Homo-oligomer: A and B are copies of this chain.
Amino acid sequence: MKKERLTRIKELVLEFDITTQDMLVDILNKDGYNVTQATVSRDIKKLGLIKSFEDGVNKYVLKKETETANTV
């Protein structure tokens, strides 16, 4: 397992609007990391990334906290 790759993924979601795992696969491959969607899926789980609507797009972001009791 490449910790380096995990760090790179985190950088990528902070910098870009990553909406699918395939996007990450593409970028990582161009970066020289040879990975498939299966691996990215696992990496995302390790990093605790979640998909969330931000700025009108459903993208991966780093999880902070979740549970709230806001009103609808």
Give the total of A residues in contact with B, Cβ under 8 Å: 24
Tell me whether A67 is interfacial, beta carbon within 8 Å: yes
Interface flags, A43-54, vs B, CB<8A=1, else 0: 001011011111
In the complex the two chains form, what is the Cα distance from A45 to B47 in whole Å? Answer: 23
Residues of A within 8 A of B (CB): 3, 6-7, 10, 14, 45, 47-48, 50-54, 61-70, 72
8 nearest CB pairs, A to B: A61-B66, A62-B68, A64-B68, A64-B65, A50-B50, A6-B72, A52-B66, A50-B52
Q: Contact between A66 and B68 (Cβ–Cβ < 8 Å)?
A: no
Q: Contact between A50 and B51 (Cβ–Cβ < 8 Å)?
A: yes
